Every structure is written in C-alpha cells, then in structure tokens.
Chains A and B, each alone.
Chain A
Amino acid sequence: MTVLQKKADNPIEHLTPEDIELIGKELDEIRQGVMDSRGEADARYIRKVIDVHRKIELGSRAVLLASGFPPAWIAGTIGLSIAKILENMEIGHNILHGQWDWMRDPKIHSTTWEWDMASPAEQWKHSHNELHHTYTNVIGKDNDLGYGIMRVDEDQPWTPMYLGQPLWSFINACFFEYGIAAYDLELGAVIAKKQTGDPEFRRRAKQVLVKIGRQVRKDYVIHPLLSGPNFVATLAANFTANIVRNLWSNSVILCGHFPEGVETFEKKSIDGETRGEWYLRQMLGSANISGSKAMHILTGNLSHQIEHHLFPDLPSNRYAEIAPKIRDLFDRYGLNYHTAPLPQQVASAWHKIIRLSLPNGWLQNTTARNLPTQLGKLWKMTTGKPRVRRVLLREQAAMAAAA
C-alpha cells in the first residue's frame, strides 16, 4: 500500500470532479434524512444502553465482592469486561462525538460526559474529533495512523527499529487506554521537542494524572478493599477486565483504518479539499466489520466505521439503517466498500503491522524455499551499514516489483 495519489491503479481515477460533488450531495441528503427523523426512539435507545451498562456494572461489581469463589470471579470478570466495553464504545465514544447533544440532556452531553478511560474526555475529544476525524488517513496529519510509533505505510523509510513493531503494537493494545492518554497528550512529540516544561503541557499532564489516579484507585484499591479477603482476586478481575476492554477497543480501532486495502492520502492532496472530496477520503480511508447486532453494539457501531466517518455526529444506532444506502452509493460509483468479518479484519490489520515491520517487499519475496537466504539478508539489513541496507532494500523492492 502507498498513498492513493502515488498508486499506479488509482481507485478514484474514473471519477470526475462533478461525480465527486454529486457523491457529496447524495451523502448530505442521507445525513439530512437522519437528522430530520431523530426522535424519541433514538433517545430511548441511548438511555436503554446506559441503563443496561449501569446494571451490568453494578451486578458484576457486586458478584466480584465474592471473587475468591472461582465461578464468581469468572462471571464477574466477564460482566465487568462487557460493561467497560459498552461504556467506552457505544456510550462514551459516541456521546463524546456529540451524537446525542441534540437531546439537550445535560447528563448525556459531549460537554459534560466523562468516561471510564485513562484519557480525560476533554483531551480525547481534541485529538480524536478535531484531528483524526478531520485529517483521516492523511500521512503526517492524522496521528491515529500508527499513533506516531508505527510504520503504517511503504513510503515511511524502514529502519531496523521497526522489527519490534509487532511486539510493541501488542503491548500497546494491552494497555491501550494509557497509550491513548499519552497520545492525546502528545507526550512523544513534547519529549522530542524538549517542551515538558511548557505550562500548558503541565496543566494537561496533571489532568491526565488526576484522571488516571481516580481510575487506578477505583479498580485497584477501593473495589479490592471492598471485597475484603478477596482483595487480590478482585484486583486481578479488574485488571483482566481492563485488559480485555483494551484489547477489544484496540482491535476495533485497528479494523477501522488498518486493514489491507484501506487508502491513505498525501498531505498536499487535502489542500483546498471540497466537501465532496472530504467525503470521498472518508469513504476510502475506512473499513467496516460485518457481523451480528450484538457485535455492532459492542464495537460502539464502529463496525460501521465508513458511515461513522462520513457522519461522525449522527446517532450510532442509525448507522446500520443508512449502511445499505451508502453501500449502494459505493457500487454506483465503482468504489470499494471495504467490509469483512471481525477475525478477518483483525488478521488483515495485524498482517499489515507485521508486513510493514519488515522492509518493503520482504514478506512478499519470502517463500519456504528461500527463507534462509531472506533471513540472512534481513540480518544484514538490520546490522549492516546504512549503505548496505540501502542496496538490499532496493533489491527487495525490485524483486517484489518483478514478481
């Protein structure tokens, strides 16, 4: 994969500027249709999900008071994991997008909501809603692409450091909420630029630390203490539920933009971008997950990532309803509506993470027969001088191109 603009078989070459504006117009109409019909049933839906979440969480926490009893530990941990997933995905993510602001309920509003997550809502809203959703999949602009720690595109030069990418991606997935907090804080960039003394950064860092403090105190001190002799078992259950939630949300997010075939865009391509072009970028830069209703709810309807990226502030329960219309639009304009079941999308995303951790073309060029030679070359690229690496990198690329 490479940025769309440099591709030999550019998937939007057949579209005229007029086509693109017509696509935009149709999408505006679909959006308006949902806006005009938002009402009581939608309000009932989000309140129901919130109600169910609170009951599952209360129930699970209560069961975990007896976490020393193994069946209670298992039931409580499963319940708490589901509660945390619901809270982060269908509830938190979507409320913080402002999807439910139209209800004017101060209890369910993007400006008042706080979620069960290391990153404070306010900071996440900035990096997610303003940056990621505006600059979706634009290399160098959308930091969600690899979160600044990963190689996500062939055009990013390969260095041996990236060999560790699968491992640290997995560690990041396990502790995803902290990764997100550090990322929303732009911790990496701030350290690199030696700006840790900046008062604004300090204020935000303190906010994160306070939030993390509350979260950690709740899951790893207060609730374990409440379960008395079952302190350690409850602590382990809460830790497990947090890991499960982190792995789940990381997987869903990987599926949204990372599977093979999802397009990325170069920075200058968005200069003077029209509304139609913005829509088109969202269409090609996102991927859906197909599956059951329960799966859609547990992904916070990010299984409808394409619809979500087109209309980030429409209520999530309506994405399924407009999905057939969106798909029809893709078909009519000869575009690829990227959708597949969860295991397939997760596998595809991880395949890409592994592929790009290696030099361009290496994985493709490697067969069972030439494995020893290829490994030898990889060793040389890793340990050799830059000149050696450059030569070998070119060789791999040429081999891949010839195949």
Chain B
Amino acid sequence: MTATVPRPSPARPALKALRDRALRLAELVTTPLLPADYLDLIDPLRSGAALRGRIEAVLPETRDAATVVIRPGADWQPHRPGQYVRIGIDVDGVRMWRAYSITSDLGRTDGCFTVTVKAIPGGKVSNHLVRRAEPGTVVQLDQATGEFCLPAQLPAKALFVTAGSGITPVMGILRNHPELADVVLVHSAPTADDVVFGAELRQLAADGRIRLVEQHTDTAGMLDAAAIAALVPDHAERATWACGPVGMLEALEEHWAAAGLSDRLYTERFRPKVLVAGEGGTVTFTKNGTSLEADGATPILDAAEEAGVLMPSGCRMGICYGCVLPLREGAVRDLRTGEVTTAAPGDGVLVQTCISAAAGACDIDH
C-alpha cells in the first residue's frame, strides 16, 4: 500500500532537499547506524522520521471498547472521514499491526486523532489497546487510507447500516459531516450499553440530525437484510454505507443486488471471511532462508510473522496489496474463495500473503 511510505510534503521542497543532503552527510558520521537512529532518541515524532504516534489517552466507551487518542508524528496527513489507519503496537514485546477506523473530528485543535477499538475475544491487539495500553506509548503508524468515505458530492439521503464496532468509521463520518441533511442509521449491538458512542448517537437523534434505529440483538435478535430494508422504506433512494460482520455485509450485498441497487451500496470489511481450508505445506522464503510448516487455514503472512520473518503487510484482509510477494514455485489457496494458484519453478506469480494459505510446498521470493 502506497501509504506505508510517508509522502514528501509539497511544502518547502528546497528546505527538504537541504535536509536530505545534510542527513546523507551525517550518515558518514553515524555509519553503520543512521542519523535517524540517534534523532529518534530525542524525538520519535519529528518530521522526517518513520511515521509514529504517541498514545495520549485511552478513554473507555463501553465495557469492552475504548477510544485511543493518538498524537501523530509531524508527517501525518489529515485523513478523510471513514478512512482507517494501520497501527503497529508492541504486545508482549511483539510488534503487531492492525487497522482501525479513525473516529475523530478533523476540527480537533490538539493535533491528535482517535481510533475506537472494541476488544474482541482472544484478540491480542484489541484487548491490549482497550485494557492495557498506557498513555505515553509510542506506536507505529501508516498514513490513513481506505475508500469507505462520502463522495465529494454529498448524497441528499444516506443510510448507514452498522453492527458492533462497525459503527466506528460511520461515527467518523457523522462527526465530520454535520451538513448531511437526511441520515438514517441502523445499528445493531447486543444491548443498549454495548452501543459504542450510544450517548452521542442518541443525542444526534434527539437533535433531529439523524434517524437512529437501535437493534439490541440479545433481546430482539438480529436483523436480516429484508428487515433492514423494511425498516427504511425509502432505502432505494438512499446511498448506503454498511460496516459490520461479513455475514451481514454479504446479506446486504445480495439483497441490494437483487433490487438492482448494487451501485448504491458501499461496504467495509474488517477481516476476510475464511471460506475453505486446504492442506497446508512447507513454506520456504528463498532470500531469507527461513522454512516453516503452515497449515491450510493460516494465512502465509501470519505463519511467517509467527516464525519471526519480517513481512510486508497492509490491510490484512486482501484489499490493499501491501503484502504481495512472488510465489516462485508451489501452490497457495485463496482463503476467501478456495481458489488455488500454482506457480511453476521460477514463475514468480504475485500472491497476497494475507489471504493465501499454503496448498502444498511453496517457495516465496522474500
């Protein structure tokens, strides 16, 4: 994903060129380390540093969700509401990367942005962020990215369908687009207390800014696509954004397609749906020299990271192509579709390691 590299600021390019030249000279002084290695001791958030951020606060939202306030480094570029940011944080000493939707108002004056995280059972990073992360912790960042945003020409009428933490990008959108005139939000959560941003959403509804439909699934059960459509009779006139579990999104996609409304539905997935698991095999990284046994259900990316291999990575859900590596020989299976990709010796077929599992022995050029 292109956003992994901080884009050079167009402002004051001459100054930047001068700085780069000075840094190259400084490399003669610091070799084999880089000047940045020493500068990071002083200010890890400075301009020109690898993009990082400092956690300023962790504010509880519900019993298992919290908003993390992050002060980004100087090279951070403002996000578009609805986008997500990849955050690399050390959990039990291990650097882990996850993508979280940005929930803050672009108008914040303190220079920080926020992400809102829901702890998922067994989720290493989400539980760490919600329950253990301390203010002052420095985290790694990528620039914000993602296409789950409103178009430049705002829709006259909008429908948001969300469930659980799927509310987060939508909250980011609602906070930044008070000019949206006609908004319906259908949100599902187990109970009223589990609704992340519950108080704020209800206030928006009370102020007449949105029509809020809360579905508390512990007592009222889940809404299916038809029920949602029925709840919003004019849904065909609305541009619809949906974010939540894969099952909900697929049901919506099907229903909207059947009604010929596919082009008016935008969805955001947080993780790929594993369709099939294959047989696994030995994965060899030819440049790195590491060999490992991967099962047929684990993405090669996860298996390799587990074995200590430094892997390129991105969204971890098969969208951004930030993790693509050449498959020199062997077979991999796309965990979402079950489709098998094979490479003859020397082929170098590019595969997405985050959604591909070994389907036999494979040699990956890395």
Interface residues of A (CB under 8 A from B): 38-44, 51, 54-55, 58, 98, 101-107, 109, 111-112, 114-116, 214-215, 217-218, 222-223, 226
Contacts and interface: CB of A to CB of B under 8 A. Distances in A.
Given A55-B41, A106-B310, A218 B94 contact: no
A218 B28 contact: yes
A222 B95 contact: no
Interface stretch (B30-38, B146-154, B332-340, B350-358): B30-38
Contact of A226 (B29, B41, B95, B288): B29
B32 A103 contact: no
Given A103-B93, A218-B28, 11 more contacts: A39-B93, A43-B93, A98-B308, A101-B309, A102-B94, A103-B90, A104-B310, A111-B288, A112-B310, A114-B32, A214-B32
A223 B30 CA distance: 10
Tell me which of A38, A55, A101, A104 has the highest count of chain B C-beta atoms within 10 A of its own C-beta: A104
B341 to A, nearest CB: 26
Contacts of B38: 54, 58
A313 to B, nearest CB: 9
A115 B32 contact: yes
Contact of B92 (A40, A51, A222, A223): A40
B6 to A, nearest CB: 15
Interface in B275-322: 288, 305, 308-310
Contacts of B93: 38-44, 102-103
A371 B92 CA distance: 64
Given A40-B92, A58-B38, A101 B28 contact: no
A43 B32 CA distance: 22
B343 interface: no
Tell me which of B28, B308, B309 has the highest count of chain A C-beta atoms within 10 A of its own C-beta: B308
A-B pairs, top 5 by smallest CB distance, nearest first, are A43-B93, A101-B308, A114-B32, A104-B95, A39-B92
Contact of A104 (B31, B37, B288, B308): B308
B4 to A, nearest CB: 12
A114 B37 CA distance: 12
Given A40-B92, A54-B38, A102-B94, A218 B31 contact: yes
B96 interface: yes
A401 to B, nearest CB: 48
A218 B29 contact: yes
B308 A102 contact: yes
A41 B93 CA distance: 7
Interface residues of B, number: 20
A42 to B, nearest CB: 6
Interface of B: 28-33, 37-38, 41, 90, 92-96, 288, 305, 308-310
21 contacts: A38-B93, A39-B93, A40-B93, A41-B93, A43-B90, A54-B38, A55-B41, A58-B38, A98-B308, A102-B93, A103-B90, A103-B93, A103-B94, A103-B95, A104-B96, A111-B288, A114-B32, A214-B28, A214-B31, A217-B28, A218-B28
B312 to A, nearest CB: 10
B94 A222 contact: no
Contacts of B28: 214, 217-218, 222
Nearest to A114: B32
A102 B290 CA distance: 13
A42 B90 CA distance: 12
Contacts of A105: 90, 95
B41 A54 contact: yes
B133 to A, nearest CB: 12
Contacts of B33: 54
Tell me which of B32, B41, B95, B288 has the highest count of chain A C-beta atoms within 10 A of its own C-beta: B32
Nearest to A41: B93
Nearest to A42: B93
B29 A104 contact: no
Contact of A116 (B32, B95, B96, B310): B32
A111 B92 contact: no
Nearest to B36: A107
Given A39-B92, A39-B93, A43-B90, A111 B29 contact: no
Nearest to B32: A114
A246 B242 CA distance: 63
A215 B310 contact: no
Contacts of A116: 32
Contacts of A39: 92-93
Given A51-B41, A214-B31, A218-B28, A109 B94 contact: no
Nearest to B37: A54
Nearest to A107: B37
Contacts of A38: 93
B200 to A, nearest CB: 34
Contacts of B309: 101
A98 B29 CA distance: 27
B306 to A, nearest CB: 9
Nearest to B285: A111
A51 B33 CA distance: 13
A55 B308 CA distance: 28
A223 B90 contact: no
